[in-house]
Chain A
Amino acid sequence: MRSRIVGYIASVFYPFCLVFGLYVVTHGHLTPGGGFQGGAVMATAVALMIVSGMFTVAVREKKVVRYKWCEALGLLLFVALAFGGMLQGGSFFHNWLANAGGCFGEAVAAGPNGGALNTGGTIPLMNLAVGVEVFGGISIILVTMVRAMKENRDG
């Protein structure tokens, strides 16, 4: 089932898959898609590497630790942003960055427009957190399945 050509072409496509997933995540507040969909697209890159037989790259212990860090940090960032609204005197999930200037704080122009990336307040940051979390979680599912398969085959 392992072919060198398929493996090489998959490793060429791998970064493009990741970048497209990041594009879907960062434009989540402007275009269709968002954290979950973008994270799933990024995890598809890991799935591509596994299916094409390059799973020695994706299944290494260092990578698995990295996926676990992705999942944990994504969830922490999401909850921290939600609690940030309470610290600023609002409610839980209060959008404390919107229209404040600076990071994603630009005011949205009135009327139909193409959309500016630097708007939305905490929503793009929460999209990023969800995207990283979904990427880590689905990658852990895939890697766990491949490891169980290899253990079943070897032992």
Chain B
Amino acid sequence: MNAGWVLLHGALLLGMVLTAASILWIRNLVAGAIALAVFSLMMALEFYLLQAPDVAIAEAGIGAGLTTAIFIVAIMATRSGKTPNPGAPEDEGTPE
């Protein structure tokens, strides 16, 4: 295990922690979904480096591809919290 290998693993793990934290911090929902996709991509790379290419393909396809699409479709189906929702009852307050 040489230094470059350790550096690569460290950079990937640090990036995973940073993207996971940014999913919580980011207020924009679409940006959060993209951050989740980046997290999944780094996870897939880490799986590949740990010699599990089978799991890496599944993670890249499901995590980075399909869940992002499903999240984006779900975000497209919702309205922004600031605009009044005509169908919702009035006394619920504005959701963040």
**In the bound complex, how far is the Cα of B53 from the Cα of A41, in angstroms?**
15
- Residues 40-51 of A, flagged 1 when their CB comes within 8 A of B and 0 if not, give 110110011011
A residues within 8 A CB of B56? 32
Query: Is A104 at the interface (CB under 8 A from chain B)?
Result: no
**In the bound complex, how far is the Cα of B56 from the Cα of A148, in angstroms?**
31
Q: A32-B53, A32-B57 are in contact. Are A149 and B66 (CB under 8 A)?
A: no
A residues within 8 A CB of B73? 50-51, 142, 145-146, 149
Query: Is B61 at the interface (CB under 8 A from chain A)?
Result: yes
Query: Contact residue range for chain B?
Result: 10 to 19
B residues within 8 A CB of A138? 66
How many of chain A's residues have a CB under 8 angstroms from any CB in B? Answer: 24
Query: Is A37 at the interface (CB under 8 A from chain B)?
Result: yes
Contact B70 A145 (CB under 8 A): yes
Contact partner, A40, options B54, B65, B68, Cβ 8 Å: B65
Minimum Cβ distance to chain A for residue B70 (Å): 6
A residues within 8 A CB of B66? 40, 43-44, 47, 138, 142
Query: Is A33 at the interface (CB under 8 A from chain B)?
Result: yes
- Which residues in B have some Cβ–Cβ distance to A below 8 Å? 53-54, 56-58, 61-62, 65-66, 68-70, 72-74, 76-77
